[in-house]
Structure 1
Amino acid sequence: MVVTRRAARAARSSITRLPVELLDIIVRYLSLEQAAAMCQISRLFNALATPILYQSVTFNTDEQLLAFLNTMNRPSGASLVPHIQHFALPRDDTLYMPELVEDITVSLLPLSNLRFLDLLTTDEVYFITFLQTAQFPRLSRFRIAVHSENSEALHDFLQRHHRTLQHLTITHAEQVEFPSPIHLPQLHSLYTTDLLLSRLNIEDAPLVELRIYNIDEGRVGLHAISIDPSTARRVRNVTLLCRYISVDAFGDVAKGFPLIDTLKVEAMNLPRLMTADEIIRIGTHLAKFTELSTLILDRSAAVRPSNDDNATILGWYGACKTLSSVTFGGKTWLREKDKWSVLCEAV
């Protein structure tokens, strides 16, 4: 069917007679590509679609980041500020020169409605001026890398946002410490090192998910985790990442979080074979968990020493009767009643 220009204008005229509130609801079901196209129709549709386009600002390339910064530097950029709630920097292949970091800081500081901020990059970027001055009343999710150069500024930033933060990721590849513990009473999920964990006061937090990693090449387990027992009881999921995984790491988690229902173990170095003795010792530690239902050992954490998977799974189930799913040796096993079967090859 051929649509004439007159028919197209009539259709647009009919749509615009709908209440603005209804049009706003309809626009929120559009994809980003459709919203971008809608901005070209009229000023009304541009005003309705723009909040959708700028609500979540993430970048896959340097060109996209630079285009956004140029847009924000224009006089019209101020009208976009209320819409931006999610901001994430490009991960790889970005050269964060001082001028670029300054432009990012200038663009971020006015975003009073920001809820999710991801400044985690593969490059060493400190954002010291930004961390010293930024204030976001609604910030609930934050990701960044801490270095000795920005540790004090990051400490102050977290102190200013401690009442709203619910999801926090702090990575670092060197020994750093905060001047004083940071109280985070609203935290639901945390990803950080075992060392930095001791500088975060999460005793009152409704913490559910904890991801811990170890930067100490000389250790195969965790440093002592000091966490309030009542907080530990609320944690349901623990992911453990270490350079080298040892059986002792299972004991470290069991000692700190015996009530978790999911434990995932990952290694940052090459895969290694797990001996029969280590498999038996893991079972000893699994016996200390009282509610563990899912155990995941990714391919990098451990490779089975033989094809006798049944003996391994049955042995661990004998130690921990609450287990219902185990990923080990590249396979995922599920239990139905007291029978175990391979569901699929693990990805």
Structure 2
Amino acid sequence: MVLTRRAVRAARSLITRLPVELLDIIIRYLSFEQTAAMCQISRLFNALATPILYRSVTFNTDEGLRAFLNTMNRPLGASLVPHIQHFALPRAETLYMPKLVADITASLLPLTNLRTLHLATADEVSFITLLRTAQFPHLTRFATSVQSETSEAVYDFLQRHHRNLQHLDILHAGPVEIRSPIHLPHLRSLYTTDLMLSHLNLEEAPLVELRIYNIDAEPARLHPNSIDPSTARRVRNVTLLCRYISVDTFDDVAKGFPLIDKLEVQAIDLPRLITADEIIRIGTHLAKLTELSTLNLDISAADKMSNEGDATILEWYGACKTLSSVTFGGKTWLREKDEWSALCEDV
């Protein structure tokens, strides 16, 4: 059925008579492209859709970043400032020349309603001016990489925002100089390197999720004093990302985080192959994790045992009776009562 022009105008008139609050809810369910199209319909829909369109500023391409910076440099940019709450640099390979870094900094500094700031990039980009001067009163999530030349600026930034931060991703490349441990009393999730933990004061933090990233060739290990014991007992999810997985890593986790509910060990390069003896040793360490329910391991059995996957799961379940989900060797097993079954095979 083809609507007449009068019918189209009547439909649009009906929509505009809906309460603004209802229109706002409807627009929130639209895709980015649909929301952008809404801005072209009328002044009313432009006023309703624009705040939603710019609430979260992320980029799929470098061109998107440059288009955003051009918009912020125009008179329209000032009206967008109150709406922007989340900002993340593009994951694409971007050449961050000094002029581009300066433009990004100038666009970010006025964003006083910012809640999420993701500055981690593929290259080591120094946003020193932003880190030294920015003040975001509502910032709860922050991601960056720190180098020796930016460590002081990162320290100052975290000191200014430490009371609101709940999620922190902070990786370091090379030696880092931190004057004193940074107090983060409200931190709930942390993604960092083991060595960086010593620069963070987490004694009061309600830390629930911890992700440790290790890029060294040596086996990933957790230092005994890397985190306060009382804080470690509050952690429920632990993820280790490393180049080389050692069985001793499981011992470190069992000693440091005995009450975790979920453990993931991911290989940065190729999955690790373990022997039958190592499977038994892992089970010995799992026995110390009294509340572990989910175990995701990016490893496979090297020995050609009969029903090797099922045998391994039963071995670990015998050691840790709280297990209910295990991913191992490209498959996932789920437990219903005391029966295990393979759910799927990863592609």
Q: For this structure pair, what is the TM-score category when the shorter chain's length is used for normalisation?
A: over 0.9
1:343 Cα deviation after fit: 1.2
Structure 1 counterpart of 2:294: 294
Matches within 5 A, 1:1-347: 1-298=1-298, 301-307=299-305, 308-347=308-347
Q: Does the CA contact (< 8 Å) of 1:327 and 1:346 recur in 2? A: no
SS of equivalent residue, structure 2 residue 123:
coil
Q: Does the CA contact (< 8 Å) of 1:146 and 1:172 recur in 2? A: yes
Q: Distance in 2 between matches of 1:49 and 1:25?
A: 10
Q: Distance in 2 between matches of 1:14 and 1:178?
A: 61
1:344 Cα deviation after fit: 1.1
Quick check: 14-23 or 227-236, which moved more?
Answer: 14-23
Q: Distance in 2 between matches of 1:8 and 1:346?
A: 49
Instruction: Give the AA of the match of 1:305.
Output: D
SS of equivalent residue, structure 1 residue 117:
strand
SS of equivalent residue, structure 2 residue 143:
strand
Q: Distance in 1 between matches of 2:19 and 2:268?
A: 55
Change (3 A) 1:221 1:51: same
Q: Deviations over 1:171-226 (max 9, x none)?
A: 22323242210111111110001110111111111111100122443444233343
1:120 Cα deviation after fit: 1.1
1:235 Cα deviation after fit: 0.7
Q: Distance in 1 between matches of 2:35 and 2:284?
A: 56
SS of equivalent residue, structure 1 residue 273:
strand
TM-score when normalising by structure 1: 0.94
1:304 Cα deviation after fit: 4.2
1:107 Cα deviation after fit: 0.3
Q: Does the CA contact (< 8 Å) of 1:32 and 1:52 recur in 2? A: no
Change (3 A) 1:210 1:5: same
SS of equivalent residue, structure 2 residue 174:
coil
SS of equivalent residue, structure 1 residue 142:
strand
Change (3 A) 1:20 1:302: same
1:62 Cα deviation after fit: 0.9
SS of equivalent residue, structure 1 residue 100:
helix
Q: Deviations over 1:76-131 (max 9, x none)?
A: 11000011111111112211111000000000011111111111111111101110
Q: Does the CA contact (< 8 Å) of 2:295 and 2:325 recur in 1? A: yes
Report the aligned-residue RMSD.
Answer: 1.7
Q: Does the CA contact (< 8 Å) of 2:62 and 2:92 recur in 1? A: no
SS of equivalent residue, structure 1 residue 172:
strand
Count, aligned residues = 345
1:303 Cα deviation after fit: 4.3
Quick check: 221-230 or 234-243, which moved more?
Answer: 221-230
Change (3 A) 1:227 1:220: closer
Q: Does the CA contact (< 8 Å) of 2:276 and 2:301 recur in 1? A: no
Q: Distance in 1 between matches of 2:289 and 2:43?
A: 60
Instruction: Give the AA of the match of 1:22.
Output: L
Q: Does the CA contact (< 8 Å) of 2:194 and 2:226 recur in 1? A: no
SS of equivalent residue, structure 1 residue 234:
coil
Runs (5+) with no aligned partner, structure 1:
none
Instruction: Give the AA of the match of 2:84.
Output: I
Q: Deviations over 1:283-314 (max 9, x none)?
A: 1111111111111112xx44443242232222
1:134 Cα deviation after fit: 0.7
Runs (5+) with no aligned partner, structure 2:
none
Q: Distance in 1 between matches of 2:329 and 2:29?
A: 43
Instruction: Give the AA of the match of 1:123.
Output: D
Change (3 A) 1:2 1:123: same
Change (3 A) 1:175 1:267: farther
Q: Does the CA contact (< 8 Å) of 2:195 and 2:226 recur in 1? A: no
Q: Distance in 2 between matches of 1:313 and 1:231?
A: 30
TM-score when normalising by structure 2: 0.94
1:320 Cα deviation after fit: 1.2
Instruction: Give the AA of the match of 1:193.
Output: T
SS of equivalent residue, structure 1 residue 159:
helix
Percent of pairs with identical residues? 78
Q: Distance in 1 between matches of 2:273 and 2:17?
A: 69
Q: Distance in 1 between matches of 2:83 and 2:90?
A: 20
Quick check: 199-208 or 7-16, which moved more?
Answer: 7-16
Instruction: Give the AA of the match of 1:57.
Output: V
Q: Distance in 2 between matches of 1:8 and 1:153?
A: 57
Q: Does the CA contact (< 8 Å) of 2:240 and 2:265 recur in 1? A: yes
Q: Distance in 2 between matches of 1:205 and 1:316?
A: 32
SS of equivalent residue, structure 1 residue 315:
helix
Q: Does the CA contact (< 8 Å) of 1:304 and 1:328 recur in 2? A: no
